[in-house]
């Protein structure tokens, strides 16, 4: 396998010519020259991500959910709520520590910058889950939630698989492993969160755990920008390094991710809440896979699944004005601060 080199901290012998710049494998000085950038989508995404700034302490009324959790959730709903948070905690934890490793191989400063913002957002998400646990569940069960994977073989299998792909690239930084790392990040951001978002939305649709769902909406808003980020990185690699791009690998990894997600989702949430049956979970996961493939200009992997089976999610999105376009990934709500009017290229 062809080895790929980590970026030096400072490279004074090279240059920052935009017309020669590539997303990876370019020799640059590592000066953040942001007045002259190549990837306009990164400029636009920077503006959205900065405008999305929020902190969990500003999402109030979580205390209301503590009462609902104890008095209104069934035993199965409580179980799903806790174990879903366990997996989400793992996902954002590993992303927070892993993204800087990847950033060391990206050779466009405008993309380095938004990857750093993503790492910050993942850390905020981790703090959000801690805030939810502190507000909703008793202190004696919090460690049990954090370390649920110690006792659940299916979750441990998933966590170890994710960790192995990331670790394998760190131990063996080849072009193939880098591309696989990028694809896995895309899969994690666009698939692994969404059945869990659907669970919280479904509870909220029944007027349960509404404050938790409000927090999840902030997190989902961030995740959509992460999906956009990695879809653009993949498309740039396809354009600039066709010898590295591997569509078969994308599809093979997607099938694996879909199978893992369906297995875990059925294990944790199937029938725990009204409307989330085995068949709906399976079709929703496959529908999401098809949607995300569209962003990569790849045909549907599951052409038989053409609609979202969770119709109540469309209604909730209408009520919340949470609109996004899967081709442009423009999110229009849940912004705490005023979005910046200009990017770097004003």
Q: Catalytic residue numbers?
A: 129
> Quick one: how many helices (H) and strands (E) in the chain?
12, 0
Q: What is the dihedral of CA 236, 171, 152, 143, to 10 degrees?
A: -100
CA 175 to chain centre: 23
* Burial class for 296, CB neighbours closer than 10 Å (0-12, 13-18, 19+): middle
Between CA 206 and CA 121 the distance in angstroms is: 29
Between CA 196 and CA 84 the distance in angstroms is: 6
Cα–Cα distances (Å) from 83 to 3, 115, 124, 196, in that order, read: 39, 28, 20, 10
* Contact call for residues 226 and 328 (beta carbons, < 8 A): no
């Amino acid at each position: 396998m062809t080895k790929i080199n980590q970026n030096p901290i400072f490279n004074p012998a090279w240059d920052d010519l935009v017309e020669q710049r590539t997303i990876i494998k370019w020799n640059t000085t590592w000066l953040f020259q942001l007045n002259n950038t190549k990837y306009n989508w990164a400029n636009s995404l920077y503006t959205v991500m900065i405008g999305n700034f929020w902190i969990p302490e500003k999402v109030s009324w979580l205390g209301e959910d503590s009462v609902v959790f104890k008095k209104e959730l069934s035993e199965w709903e409580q179980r799903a709520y806790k174990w879903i948070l366990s997996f989400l905690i793992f996902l954002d934890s590993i992303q927070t520590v892993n993204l800087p490793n990847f950033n060391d191989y990206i050779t466009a400063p405008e993309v380095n910058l938004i990857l750093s913002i993503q790492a910050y957002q993942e850390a905020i998400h981790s703090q959000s889950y801690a805030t939810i646990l502190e507000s909703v569940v008793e202190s004696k069960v919090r460690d049990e939630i954090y370390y649920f994977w110690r006792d659940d073989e299916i979750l441990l299998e998933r966590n170890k698989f994710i960790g192995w792909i990331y670790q394998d690239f760190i131990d063996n930084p080849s072009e193939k492993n880098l591309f696989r790392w990028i694809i896995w990040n895309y899969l994690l951001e666009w698939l692994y969160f969404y059945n869990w978002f659907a669970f919280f939305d479904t509870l909220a649709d029944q007027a349960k755990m509404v404050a938790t769902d409000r927090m999840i909406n902030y997190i989902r808003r961030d995740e959509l920008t992460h999906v956009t980020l990695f879809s653009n990185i993949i498309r740039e690699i396809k354009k600039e390094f066709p010898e590295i791009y591997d569509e078969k690998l994308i599809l093979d990894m997607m099938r694996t991710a879909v199978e893992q997600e369906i297995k875990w989702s059925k294990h944790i949430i199937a029938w725990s809440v009204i409307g989330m049956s085995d068949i709906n979970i399976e079709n929703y996961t496959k529908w999401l896979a098809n949607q995300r493939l569209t962003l990569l200009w790849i045909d549907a992997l599951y052409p038989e699944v053409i609609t979202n089976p969770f119709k109540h999610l469309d209604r909730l999105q209408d009520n919340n004005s949470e609109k996004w376009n899967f081709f442009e990934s423009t999110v229009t709500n849940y912004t705490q601060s005023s979005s910046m009017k200009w990017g770097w290229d004003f």
